[in-house]
Amino acid sequence: MKVLILGAGAVGLCLAARLSPHCEVHAVCRKRHADAIAQRGFVMTGLWGEGTYRFPASEEVPEGEHFDYIFITAKSLATRSICEQFAGVIQGADTVSLQNGLGNEEIIAEYTDRVIGGTIITGFEWKGDAGVHVSVVGGPMKLGRFPDGADPAVDALVDLVGRAGIPVEASSHIRGDLWAKTLYNSALNPLGALMNVPYGKLLDPTVWGVIENVIREAYAVMAAEGVHVPWPTADDYLAFLRDVQIPSTAGHHASMLQDILHGNATEIDFMNGAIAARAEKHGLSAPYNDCITRLVHFRETLREP
C-alpha cells in the first residue's frame, strides 16, 4: 500500500513516521524539513511513541507515482492551493482531510469524488526541523467516507492506521465527528488565543458565558443541516466541555495563538467564521461567532504580541 501526505507539518510528518514501517509513504513538506529528515531522520517523542524514523520527504510528488491514499494535513487556509497544485494526483484518488474546521472536505470534493473525512484531537509540538513531541491525545482519530457512510476503502485505511499504533476508529457519520471537533475548537481556540491563556482559564464565569453562546449558535446551525453529535443538546455538550474536555487539556495553549504570535493568518474562517457563514445561509443569527471571527482577524493585523 502506498500513502502520500500533502502539506505535511507536525501532524503529517508524525503520521508518516508511524506509517513508514507498515507501508510505502511519501511526505510533501517544506524543504527545511525534508533536508533535515534526509540528514538525520525524523525524531518523534511523546504519546505516539519514541523513535527515529526514515521515510522519503520532498517538496514535490515523485513523478509517475500512484498512491492508494492521499492525506492532506495542511492548515485549512492551504487546502485549495494544495488541491490546485496537485490536482492531477488527487483526481480519482481516495483523499483524506485530516485538518481543522469545516469546509475542507467540500473543497477537496471539487477535485476528487472519493473524499474521506478525518478528525484528530492531538497536540503536536515542534522540536527542531525534524522533530516533534506528541503532548496531548484527546481521543482516537476518526475516519469516514464524506459526507456519511463507510466502505471497504475506509475500513482498509483504518486497519492500516491502527496497525501503525495510532488510536483510530471508523465513522459512519463523519460530518458529526467534524462538527464535534469544531465545537471544541471554536469554543476554546480563538478565546485562548485572543487572551493568551491556557484552556483551563476559560472556565472563569466572565468568559464561560461567551462560550455558552458560541455553542448554542453552533447547535442551531447543526439542526438546520441535519447534523448529529454525541451530545443531544447544547447544554449536554457544554457540561462535557466543562467537566471532561477542558480539565484534560487545561494547560494547553491554542495553536491559533502560535499563528498570531508568528504573524501568520489563522484558521478562524474554518471555525467560528464557518459557523457564522452557515448560520447566515440558513437565515439564523450567530453574533457571538461572528464577533469572535472579527476580533481574531483584527488581532491578525497587529504585528506586536
What confidence tens digit (pLDDT) does each residue in 153-164 have?
A: 999 999 999 999
pLDDT digits (tens, 9 = 90+) for 110-147: 999 999 999 998 888 889 999 999 987 878 999 999 99
Could you give the C-alpha distances from 266 to 178, 194, 295, in angstroms and in order?
A: 18, 12, 12
Taking only Cα atoms into account, the Rg of the chain, rounded to an integer number of angstroms, comes to 19
Under DSSP, is residue 149 helix (H, G, I), strand (E, B) or coil? coil
For residue 120, what are the CA distances in angstroms to 64, 97, 125, 224, 299?
Answer: 31, 10, 15, 25, 27
Asked if the model's pLDDT at residue 294 lies above 80, the reply is yes
% the chain with pLDDT above 90: 89
Confidence band for 286, pLDDT divided at 50, 70 and 90: very high
The alpha carbon of residue 127 and the mean position of all alpha carbons in its chain are separated, in whole angstroms, by 20
Contact 33, 13 (CB under 8 A): yes
Q: How open is the CA angle 161-163-165, to the nearest 5 degrees? A: 80
Can you tell me the distance from the alpha carbon of 176 to that of 226, in angstroms, rounded to the nearest whole number? 9
pTM: 0.92
Cα(167)–Cα(164) distance, integer angstroms? 9
Q: What mean pLDDT do residues 21-25 have? A: 98
The grid coordinates listed for 255 are 495553536
The pLDDT mean for the chain works out to: 95
65 Cβ contact partners less than 8 Å away, ≥ 6 residues apart = 2, 4, 26
**Residue 304, pLDDT score:** 60
Residue 55 clears pLDDT 70, i.e. is over it: yes
What is the mean predicted confidence (pLDDT) over 43-52?
95
pLDDT in tens, 197-230: 999 999 999 999 999 999 999 999 999 999 999 9
**Mean pLDDT value across residues 170-180:** 96
Residue 255 binned pLDDT confidence (cut-offs 50, 70, 90): confident
The arithmetic mean of pLDDT across residues 175-193, rounded, is 96
Instruction: Note the pLDDT tens digit of each residue in 68-119.
Output: 999 999 999 999 999 999 999 999 999 999 999 999 999 999 999 999 999 9
> Domains plus CATH for the chain?
2-171 (3.40.50.720), 176-302 (1.10.1040.10)
pLDDT of residue 123: 80
Question: With 90 as the cut, is the pLDDT of residue 45 above it?
Answer: yes
